[in-house]
Amino acid sequence: MLSECSKVGSQPPDFRLFCASPLTLKNKRQLTIKVATPPANMPPKPELTSDERKQVVSQLLLLIKDGNQPPKLQRGALTTVANNFNVKPRTIGQIWKRARQNFEDPSIGAFHASPLKKQFGRKQKYDREEARAAILLVPTHRKRSLCMLASAIGIPVGTLHRMKNEDDNVITPHSNAVRPHLHDHHQLARVLYSVANLDIVSEQYHDYFDSVHVDEKWCFLTEEHLKIYVVLGQALPERSVGHKSHILKVMFLAAVARPRYNETGECTFDGKIGIWPFVERVAARRASIRRPAGTIETKPVNVTSQKYREFMIEKVLPAIKLKWPDRDHGIVIQQDGASSHINQQDPAFIAAAIAGN
């Protein structure tokens, strides 16, 4: 039919052609062409959101005549509110009609701003409730990625991704961490530790301003890939190792305490006692393509009880005595249960701690 209409004259652009049915025509001369032009000043009809519909009802409730049952709007109320939202009064009237029906229905009792919500667009191929039921049956090890989950329930990855981003959130990402399995004696030990650090007189817990925590940490001397910012023309650093899978790894001993601040919020003690590597500098016994014999090299050493005691006496204790802000009470050094750690009754450590007080 449109092909018949296009043969008759020339039409201006953006005009709609309404042609009579070809079944009632005897020849092409009897074609009736009607050109419909839209109004020049007609604004586009906006799509009111749910919040805007609620605002419409709120404004209309303020324009109700007093003493009328059922309630009636004042003259010109629909036009006034329609101008505020740049829509036709007929649209405001439909919203007000639905609001009155919702208010008069005891089973509803409130205004539903969008009764046709999610009743537009193409029909969903996969039901969301069925997807939820299927995901619940998938074991945990097959839920680690969207691809694995999509393969397990037979849904495309793109559809599953949309289910993750929808408002009702069929699925949501979750990071799961392993927690310690506590037995009764573990819980009892925690309770006893809390009671031991509670001041019965002041009913406050210990502030730990007299504690120093000591622990070891593995660190690589360098990284396989290092990203830095340099100036144009600057000499680039050269890094080399025997093999990228054999980068030197060194154990460090670190000691930290709780930082302290004065009344104005200024940090008077940052709590950083020190950090020391378990290394030794020895001369190379043999020559190689990288250095001659006798070159001083830095080598990591094994952390034994004797080496740990040596670091505690020669490095940790002097650093605490040098940096500690006050010396009017004892200091507790807290360490974990590693096999190389010394006993709290170690005579050499006690003698070094008492000396020079």
pLDDT digits (tens, 9 = 90+) for 84-112: 888 888 988 888 888 888 777 776 656 66
Q: How many residues does the chain have?
A: 357
Alpha-carbon Rg for the chain in angstroms:
40
**164 CB-near residues (< 8 Å, 6+ apart):** 146, 170, 171, 172, 173
Structural contact between residues 209 and 198, judged by C-beta atoms closer than 8 angstroms = no
Predicted pLDDT of residue 278: 93
> Of the spans 32-36, 165-169, 304-308, which averages the highest pLDDT?
304-308
Pairing of strands 279-283, 296-300: antiparallel
**273 CB-near residues (< 8 Å, 6+ apart):** 212, 255, 256, 257, 316, 319, 320, 323
In the predicted model, what is the mean pLDDT of residues 225-243? 87
Structural contact between residues 249 and 218, judged by C-beta atoms closer than 8 angstroms = yes
Predicted pLDDT of residue 115: 55
> Cα separation of 134 and 160, whole Å?
12
pLDDT higher than 60, residue 294: yes
Predicted pLDDT of residue 4: 42
pLDDT higher than 60, residue 72: yes
pLDDT higher than 60, residue 117: no
User: What is the share, in percent, of the chain residues with pLDDT greater than 70?
Assistant: 81
pLDDT higher than 80, residue 285: yes
pLDDT higher than 60, residue 5: no
Report whether the peptide linkage leading into residue 70 is cis, meaning its omega lies within 30 degrees of zero. yes
**Stated pTM of the model:** 0.51
pLDDT higher than 60, residue 250: yes
Q: How confident is the model at residue 14 (pLDDT cuts 50, 70, 90)?
A: very low
Q: How confident is the model at residue 63 (pLDDT cuts 50, 70, 90)?
A: confident
> Cα separation of 95 and 208, whole Å?
65
> Cα separation of 73 and 56, whole Å?
13
Predicted pLDDT of residue 135: 92
pLDDT tens across 133-142, in order? 999 999 999 9
pLDDT higher than 80, residue 289: yes
Structural contact between residues 316 and 324, judged by C-beta atoms closer than 8 angstroms = no
Predicted pLDDT of residue 185: 94
Q: How confident is the model at residue 266 (pLDDT cuts 50, 70, 90)?
A: very high
In the predicted model, what is the mean pLDDT of residues 262-283? 93
Token pair listed for 40: 């020049």
pLDDT tens across 146-161, in order? 999 999 999 999 999 8
pLDDT higher than 90, residue 237: no
> Cα separation of 292 and 284, whole Å?
8
Predicted pLDDT of residue 118: 53
Query: What value does the mean pLDDT of the chain take?
Result: 81
Token pair listed for 18: 């309404």
Q: How confident is the model at residue 176 (pLDDT cuts 50, 70, 90)?
A: confident
Pairing of strands 33-36, 16-19: antiparallel
Choose among 79, 118, 108: nearest CA to 96: 79
